[in-house]
Amino acid sequence: MVKQVFKSVGLVARYDKKQAVELAKELADYLSNKGLEVCIENTIAKKVDTPAKKVPLKNMKTDFIITIGGDGTILRTCLAVPDPEPPILAVNMGVRGFLTEVEPKDAYNAVDRTLKGEFKIEKCAKLAVSADGKAMPDALNDVVISAGEPSKILYTQICKDDEPILKCQADGLILSTQTGSTGYSLSAGGPVLDPEVETFVLTPICSLTVFRSIVFSADSKVTIEAIRPKEVLALIDGNYREVVISKKPTLTITRSKNVASFIRFKDDFYHRLQSRLLFKGT
């Protein structure tokens, strides 16, 4: 008999998609029958009949988590679960699902392989973000900084390690991890960062100041000081919002000590890049 690597599992699903909720219920029953302690996000538990323990994401402390949805479901999970984050096995039921690992038809096989320990762990860096000294949740993908009032141009002073490097007028700024470099930053003209290179990138949104993306080393401290307006919006991973109002709103971004961990069955970053982002190699 093969000894199971994990003893407990959390289930998170895209709750606006019926198929995702149904698969979460089926996997909860399947894993319970295998002797695991199963926790299911309380929002999903309200929609299904399951003996699994109903737990809010912020209290979900399990050996690993299965997400059923797309990248948005993963980002929502990573924002909410307590540190240190357990590894995530991501089942794709989203539009693109760049971060996901398996399709729904392969979910049971993926679960069995995970329980046998037949996987690798991919660790993804996060960004630590603070606004006027107040810590905010870490960003797995990106932090987007814009004027607090729609249609206002954001005029900022950008500093690296407390040294001014440029002033910028733009609709906003995106600071992305390697993971997030394939998202909003890429759409705004930023580069794709190889996950093995320890960097993060600053990309302007519709800049009036002529400059392109800047790639920083992982140990850099980047400071964004708003010259005007005095109200700034920070959006982390598309889910967490913070409005900063002061004489000079200041956001500081560094590499976080925390990471996100993903269960992988093969090393296929560039395969995912080609198949899911329509990036064609020669």
Question: Any idea which residues carry the catalytic annotation?
Answer: 71
How many CA atoms does the CB half-sphere of 180 hold within 13 Å? 29
- Please check whether residue 77 is in contact with residue 10, taking contact to mean a CB–CB distance below 8 angstroms: no
What is the rounded CA–CA span in Å between residue 158 and residue 226? 9
- Please check whether residue 217 is in contact with residue 232, taking contact to mean a CB–CB distance below 8 angstroms: no
List Cβ neighbours of 206 (8 Å cut-off, separation of 6 or more).
Answer: 170, 171, 172
Q: Which residue has the tokens 């490097």?
A: 165
- Please check whether residue 69 is in contact with residue 77, taking contact to mean a CB–CB distance below 8 angstroms: no
- Please check whether residue 11 is in contact with residue 40, taking contact to mean a CB–CB distance below 8 angstroms: yes
Angle at CA 236, nearest 5°, toward 250 and 89? 145
Report the sign of the C-alpha dihedral through residues 72, 82, 87, 32, in that order: negative
What is the rounded CA–CA span in Å between residue 67 and residue 102? 11
How many residues in the chain? 282
